[in-house]
Structure 1
Amino acid sequence: MIWIWIAGGGALGAVARVLLASWIGRIAHEGMPLGILMVNLVGCGLMGAAFVLLDRFEPTPAVRQFVTAGLLGAFTTFSSFALEAYHLVIDGRATLALGYVMSSIVGGVIALLLGIALTEWGLSH
């Protein structure tokens, strides 16, 4: 039955990802695919916050899976990230691809740490 929770979270996460990436894509200029980059950074920050909150409040396994595997798993899309980087490389924009990959990885780890720190700080105040 837990898969229903995961599927529900996944549906919401996927829709949120497409809406955010599309919106950012419309307002950003050509070059680095900022839509997916921002989705991944926001998603990593949210995963950091979820890590703290799920550990602290110990919800049921179904709720934990809804948030992590479903909602955030479908929202943060490193498979889409890899495809975007690949397209930049085959389009002859390898330097931009490298910048995109490094921004996503380093920025994602920083956003995760920031999500953890801000959530822990918020819960302690």
Structure 2
Amino acid sequence: MMANWLLVGLGASLGALGRYHFTNLYKKFRPEAGYQATLLINLSGALLLGMFGAATLTARWYAFLGVGLCGGWTTFSTLNSELGGQVASQKFRQFGSYFVLTYALGLPLCALGWWLGHRFF
């Protein structure tokens, strides 16, 4: 059997690769709004993490899906880097909407995921 740390690492690798490819694809079509890819990634990750947290997963599956996959998929560091860049380039409206959407939608989406996880899993 695989150790939990190995499952977390495998999930994180897959999540990070997915984030990388999604971001590149998004920026290909909307290069001026690449930060929106991070917003979509983080919000979808909040929803998924809520679902995985509520589902009756074994510790190993949660290590792989919740900690690993969602941890690799979402990115707090890129969010803050992009927010800092928006402030530095004086895009204060963009900063405000990005900040508010991330935090005002992230928690409700996690709660929705939790509800869905309890309802369907």
Question: TM-score of the superposition, structure 1-length normalised?
Answer: 0.84
Q: Give the conservation status (yes or no) of the 8 Å contact 2:53–2:62.
A: no
Q: Where does residue 3 of structure 1 map in the other structure?
A: 5
| Count of residues in Structure 1 that have an aligned counterpart in Structure 2 | 119
Structure 2 unaligned blocks of 5 or more: none
What residue in structure 1 maps to residue 83 of structure 2? Answer: 85
- Of 20, 23, 34, the residue aligned with 1:21 is 23
Contact 1:49 1:115 (8 Å CA) reproduced: yes
User: Once the 2 structures are TM-superposed, how far is the Cα of residue 30 of structure 1 from its aligned partner?
Assistant: 2.3
Report the Cα offset of residue 108 of structure 1: 0.9
Amino acid at match of 2:30: A
Percent identical pairs in the alignment equals 24
Q: Is the 8 A contact 2:52 2:65 kept in 1?
A: yes
TM-score by length of 2: 0.86
Post-superposition offset of 1:4: 1.2
Distance in 2 (alpha carbons) for counterparts of 1:31 and 1:8: 30
Aligned to 1:106: 104
Structure-1 separation of matches of 2:20 and 2:116: 26
Check 1:92–1:32 CA distance in 2 against 1; reply closer, same or farther (3 A cut).
farther
Q: Secondary structure at the match of 2:90?
A: coil
Alpha-carbon distance, 1:34 to partner: 0.7
CA distance in 1, matches of 2:117, 2:97: 29
What is the aligned partner in structure 2 of residue 42 from structure 1?
Answer: 44
Distance in 2 of aligned mates of 1:65 and 1:94:
38
Q: CA RMSD in A?
A: 1.8
Query: 1:3: Cα distance to partner?
Result: 1.5
Distance 1:31 1:20 in 2: 13
In the alignment, structure 1 segments of 5+ residues that lack a partner are none
